[in-house]
Amino acid sequence: MSARRVLVLNGPNLGRLGSREPDVYGATSYQGLVAECERLGAELDFAVEVRETNDEGEIIRWMHEAADGRIPVVMNPGAFTHYSYGLRDAVAQRTAPFIEVHISNPYARESFRHTSVVAAVASGTIAGFGLGSYRLALRALAEELDG
């Protein structure tokens, strides 16, 4: 049996991990995040593909790809979390589990970060555990798919 395909999608500014506000997002680089997701994915029998974009249209197209292919998604929408109704509508079309992740705890930050427009159409949300949020999401995804 081949590994199950999983997309780990990241929105704006996440490619700057390690240099962007390390007090909030930690010191691990984006490449470190990619390596960790791929490593854990292999352990969970996932073929993990990690992507990052600063373009709202591109992340929406990736969600369409996932919906069309019945591909599970772990996503950190970044700033798109708070205002992208186009992304919310794309996530609502999902045909497989979708887990929203955040490195920081949005509720412990500025008030504009307290609203997620994608949360209501997600399988679940994991936030506030640093890069561990991605590990928890991949493990939750494995449980949901195997359950």
Cα three-residue angle 95-97-102, rounded to 5 degrees: 130
Pick out the residues of the known binding site: 76, 82, 89, 103-104, 113
User: Can you read off the two tokens belonging to residue 17?
Assistant: 């991990």
Length of the chain: 147
Query: Is residue 46 helix, strand or coil?
Result: strand
Residues 6 and 48 sit within 8 Å (Cβ to Cβ): yes
Q: What is the DSSP string of 98-135?
A: EEEEESS-GGGS-GGGG--SSGGGSSEEEESSTTHHHH
Which residue numbers belong to the known binding site for substrate? 76, 82, 89, 103-104, 113
Sign for the CA dihedral angle at 135, 126, 1, 68 comes to negative
Name the percent of the chain in helix, strand, coil, to the closest 5. Answer: 50, 20, 30
Q: Which residues are tagged catalytic?
A: 25, 102
